[in-house]
Structure formats: structure tokens, C-alpha cells
Amino acid sequence: MTARGFGFVIRCNMQNLYMIRTGAFKRIAAAAAGVLFGLGAALGAEVTAQNAAEIQAALDRGDDVALVKGKVYEVNTPIRYQRNNQKIYTKGARRISDNAVLRVTSPEGGQVINGNGKSGILLERVTLDGNRYNLPPYPDGGPELAWFGGNGAKNQTIRNCVFMNSRTWSTFKLHEGGKDCKIENSVFFGCGADARGNGRFRDEKPFKWGDGISCAAERSTVSNNLIIDPTDVGVVIFCAPGTVVKDNVIASISRESLGGINLVDGLGFYEMDKGRADPADKDAMRRYDYRGVEVKNNLIDSRGARIHIAVPMGATVWVPRDKRVMTFVGAKILDNTLAGGASAYGFVADGVDGFEVRGNKSVGKHSGLADGRWDVLCDEPGPFLFNPEYVENSKLQPEFKPQKRSLQHLLRCNHGPLQQGGSPFRGYRAYSYGPEEARAVVQTAYIEMLGREPTAEELDRDARIINEHVIPADQFRWMLMDTPEFKSKNPGIGRNQLHDFRTGKWLKAIDAAAGSSDWKAKDVYEAAFKSMLSK
């Protein structure tokens, strides 16, 4: 008997008086209390864990896990939720700096936590550290740092967490089969290395870029997250019908990101009208379900490094094909803002049906021609571009301009020259910078590394130098680290500590800006960056 059922029994007509007088009421109440006690025991107790083994043992028993505030837990194998409704959280944590840290410490370790297929689970106020700059590169892309969603999973919640320095292809994944999951109020810092080699570990070989959030679980909510320096994509939407991506910040500070928020993938799981096309026909047109997807009120900022395509919509924008085989149906892209001096292509639609794109704006500066197809020159970069031939039944805001040549493969990562010689970036791409892009790289590096704006002379000189010599942003930061100014402000910090230094500085600034109350990603981002000055 459930508690609700018990309540129904004691309200039944004239039997109430009879049960009370005969003592039956007391017996039923005692039985109900026993049922409720049994349910509580089945849901598990709360255990304070002191190490990763104790975390897993508690989960195996069906318990919830409280982590110790500020404690670092060494994780060598993935921590796995075992039952629905389990919780892992840092007890007493009120701000980012209070979080317990789950840190990968084994070269074989890549994934920290796995909630695949479990409903109602919670991860709250925990930092996951992939330890990218103290472990050798993970082979073959590796597993996701955190895996949630999955078949049968509903109502998972991940909030107020930090995900940093992953060694794998994706930092956080919500897998298809999951529904009604949330990732919110969390910070992502440093995902992979970019096409120029920025963000690489010293022994890393090209190309190991990574996503911030990869979402294929339908009706999910991705909201109020701060995602800094992804290298593949900030947020990838793999169809995931009904999903809302809102109020997030995706910012490229020191390394380039191929995409900001992507709608370029068609999963068979979400193929519409299955069975109409011959499964063996690789050239048949298939339609994929993006209905109910909303991307709204996000900030995509190429402040210090290129974002190749801010919001690509359609498969061939990303991967060109002679024969089109995918159409995406039904998403809304509303009231988003593009910013930054290193912007490239903005909102691009090619291969969509029933899309609505309105209220968006760009305050950035767009430059740098993409690779395009191998046989066709692509269009010049700009904030709003579409292919009239392959945008059907859609409502586009008036700023959109029709393509002049091609909108296929608007990335700048495949066909350019490679770094040569003894460069630590050998094998990575050696593209020149657009004029505004080069200035954005230099200006942001000065603020981040030296705590000040460059002078007009320094900005002109260094923008010219990195362009003439095709210097990656990390290498330019090393140049700044070699100056007496940096050494006097940051004694004992060497080149190999660049990204550990950056991670610590950013997390400290974000922690100060977010504090212990509810925070907005856009406000925290701007306040954290502003605090870099004079530090």
C-alpha cells in the first residue's frame, strides 16, 4: 500500500469511525509506517565517503554519497551509479571552491563518472578533473569524462558542477534514450587541443579536440552553463527533440572552437519516417527530428580565439558531400548573441526544414575564409548566411544573406598547411590570421597573462608578428611568460605550467564572481574576465 493509498483508505465514508473504534486504524497506520520505512531503506542511506572505493561501495549498496568539502578524490576507474534516484554531492558546499574534486590519476583513466540508464539521479557541487596536463594523452579519443542519459533514464539532474581539462572527445554526454535530463549552472574549462595545437599536452599528437556538452537525450535542458575553451564544439545537439539550450556562454579565450552550438548531426535513433528509405541506400535522403529544440539567449564569444561556425544548421555546413543525405526538421534559434573580434561564420543554414531563426544578433567581427569543399571556394565569413535551395518552410530573420558560392564545410582545419620544423606544434595547422582575429588573440593574451591591455604599439607589433610567423596563441603566451613583467608577477611559473596556471586563475576568478548565491553565466563570465585586469 502506498502512502497515497493509505490516505484514501482512512477517508472512506463511514468506515473511518469503525476503524478508529476497533483499533483497525492503529493497525493500518502501523502497517503503513512499516511500508514507508521499507521504502526509505530501499532508497538507501547517506554515506560520507573518504575515497573513490568508498564512493563506489556506497553506490553498490544503493546508498547516496556525500563527499567531503574541498577534498581531492583520486579516481582510476569510472564511478557508476547503481540504482535510480541516487545522489552524489559535496556536503556543505556553497560555492565552486568548496567542491570536492574527483580527479583522474591513472594514464588508463578517462571517464570519471557514469550515470548511464539510471533515472532520478543527482550530481551536485562536484568538480570533475580530467588532469589533462599531468597525464599522457588518452589514445583514440577516449570515453566521455562524464556519461549520463541512456536508455530508460529520466529526470537526471547535474548542477553547480565543474568539468575541467578532460582528456577525451567529450567532456559531458547525455546519451540518446534518456529523457527530461538537466545540466545547469555548471562550469566547463578546457576541452581538447585545437587545430593550431593550442591546449595540447606536451606529448600530444594532432588532432585531439573535444566537446563541452554532447546532448542526444530528448527533452533535455542545458541552461546557464559557462563553457570556456572547447575545441570541437561548445554544445552539440544530436537531434534530441524537445531539448532547450538557453542562457549559456560559450567562449574561446585561448584555443579555437570549431563550433559554438551545433545542429549538424543526424542520429538513426531520431530518424523520421523510418522504413521509407532503403537502409542499404547510402544516398537516400533521410529526415531527422529536431522538433521542439530551442537554442535561445546564449552568448557565443570568440574573444581570444576563432569560433569557426557559431551556430551551424545542416550537415553539409560541417561535412561536405556530393550527394545530400540529411535534412533536419523543426528547431528554433532565438535571441542569441555573437561577440568577439575573432569571429568567423555565424548563423548558417543549409539543409533544414521548418526552422525558425529570429531575434539573433552579432556584435563581433567576422574574418578568415574557411576551407570549404576541395573543389569549390566557399563564401566569405559573415553573421547570417543560408542556402535558399536547401532551406525549406523556414522563417529566417531579414539579416540572412543567400549564399554566393558554397556554404559547405565552413571549417578552417583540414586543408591548410602544417607547422613544420622543430616546433612543438609540428603537425598542427599553420593558418594565417585575419587582421581582427590576430588583434583579438594578442589583446586577450595580454589581459589573461599580464593583467593589462597591450599598448597600441604592442598590439600592432604583436598582431603583425603572430601573423607573419603563424604563431599559435599558446606560443604567444609563452613569449609573454618569458618577459620580466610576467616573471615578476608570477614567480616560479614555467612554460609547462601554462594551462595549470590558466585553469587556476580562471576558476579563482569565476568562484569570486559567482559567490555562494545563484548566478548568471553571462554576468559571471564578464566579471571574471574583467577581474583579470591588474592581477
Task: Select the more confidently predicted residue: 521 or 517.
Answer: 521
Q: Give, in degrees to the nearest 5, the angle at Cα 244 between 241 and 248.
A: 145
Identify residue 196 by its one-letter amino acid code. R
Please name the amino acid found at residue 334: L
Give one DSSP letter per residue of 20-57, joined into a string: HHHTHHHHHHHHHHHHHHHHHHHH--EEE-SSHHHHHH
pLDDT value of position 40: 40
Q: What percent of the chain has pLDDT over 90?
A: 83
Cβ neighbours around 48 below 10 Å, total: 11
pLDDT of residue 244: 98
Instruction: Give per-residue pLDDT as tens, 455-503.
Output: 999 999 999 999 999 999 999 999 999 999 999 999 999 999 999 999 9
25-70 pLDDT, tens digit each: 334 343 443 333 334 434 579 999 999 999 999 999 999 999 999 9
Does residue 147 have a pLDDT over 70? yes
- Using alpha carbons, list the distances in angstroms from residue 397 to 364, 386, 435: 18, 11, 29
pLDDT at 273: 87
Residue-wise pLDDT tens digits, 157-198: 999 999 999 999 999 999 999 999 999 999 999 999 999 999
Mean pLDDT along residues 8-17: 31
Query: What percent of the chain clears pLDDT 70, i.e. is strictly above it?
Result: 92
Residue entry with cell 538513426: 268
- Assigned C-alpha cell, 169: 572527445
pLDDT of 33 reads 37
The average confidence (pLDDT) of the chain is 91
Please report which confidence band the pLDDT of residue 14 belongs to, taking 50, 70 and 90 as the band edges.
Answer: very low
Amino acid at 90: T
What is the predicted pLDDT for the residue at 504?
96
Rg of the chain in Å (alpha carbons): 26
Cell numbers for 308, please give them: 569557426
Question: Please, what is the Cα angle at 403 between 256 and 325, to 5 degrees?
Answer: 80
Q: How confident is the model at residue 281, as a pLDDT?
A: 84
Kindly report the backbone phi and psi dihedral angles of residue 172, in degrees, each rounded to the nearest multiple of 5, phi listed first.
-140, 125
pLDDT recorded at residue 535: 55
**Of residues 38 and 420, more confidently modeled:** 420
